[in-house]
Amino acid sequence: MTTERPPSGQPEQHAPGFGAPRPEDRLRIEVEDAASSKWWARILYTFGSQYGRTELRFVGRNEDGRTLYASDTFPGPPLDQTPPEEAWAPGLEASLSQLWREIARDGWSESSRGAKPCELTFSRRMGS
């Protein structure tokens, strides 16, 4: 079977439903200090927290660094001291599961997973 290419300068024709491959959007999951987004929130969290704990959350950021998704917050140690784990950051797993479901509902598919539970990358076709 031979495939004929259109003459130079003319757009390539595709069968219905089989367009040219579209590039993919990528979404990376990160943990952030929820108070880091606003200066006044940092002060409130500092005065209201016990034992140096802070409010953390998972965020889904695109390749430009824009936050597209944010999970519910959960208490945890400051990020510069130790990475959070469920044992000392209760609510971590529930927040991550809630964010994962929201992202999947919007058409994203998990494309890679790192060593830590929150090291996730999602992708979807642009325009989806």
Residue 101 counted as domain residue:
yes
pLDDT in tens, the chain (128 residues): 444 444 444 444 434 444 444 588 999 999 988 877 665 655 665 565 555 667 889 999 999 999 999 999 888 877 776 677 777 778 889 999 999 999 999 999 999 998 887 889 999 987 66
Instruction: Supply the pTM of this predicted model.
Output: 0.69
Kindly provide the residue ranges of all beta strands, DSSP E only, lying in the chain, ordered along the sequence: 24-33, 54-62, 67-70, 74-76, 109-113, 120-125
Residue 60, domain extent: 24-125
Q: Are 109 and 124 in contact, with CB atoms under 8 Å apart?
A: yes
Residue 14 lies in a domain: no
Domain assignment of residue 70, yes or no:
yes
Residue 94 domain-assigned? yes
The answer to whether residue 9 is domain-embedded is no
Residue 117 domain-assigned (yes or no) = yes
> Count of domains in the chain?
1
